[in-house]
Amino acid sequence: MWEIISHELRTPLVPIRGYVDLLLADKLGNLDDKQIQRLKIVQSNTKLIIELVNKIIESRSLEAITVRTKT
């Protein structure tokens, strides 16, 4: 179940992160300072969400291992 939740949370984040990276690298045209600032916020928050999802999955995996070793 957690793998499905993880997948569903990560799936939309991957292209968002990719396009933000492309935009910040000026691969899709020049940006003004205000646009760059806002994209950096999106980039930072996207990274944070991915890290949180990874930590949730990691903790759930450790719980599953603990339960299996106790039985």
Give domain limits for the chain. 2-70
Cα–Cα distance measured from residue 17 to residue 28, given in angstroms and rounded to the nearest whole number = 14
pLDDT computed for residue 60 by the predictor = 74
Any idea what the Cα angle at residue 50 is, between residues 12 and 28, rounded to 5°? 55
29 sits in the region (left: phi over 0; alpha: psi -120 to 50; else beta) called left
Inform me whether the pLDDT recorded for 52 exceeds 80.
Answer: yes
pLDDT computed for residue 5 by the predictor = 78
Any idea what the Cα angle at residue 41 is, between residues 39 and 45, rounded to 5°? 120
Please, which pLDDT band fits residue 54 given cuts at 50, 70 and 90?
confident
Residues 6+ apart with CB under 8 A from 36: 24
Cα–Cα distance measured from residue 15 to residue 46, given in angstroms and rounded to the nearest whole number = 10
Task: Give this prediction's pTM.
Answer: 0.75
Inform me whether the pLDDT recorded for 14 exceeds 80.
Answer: yes
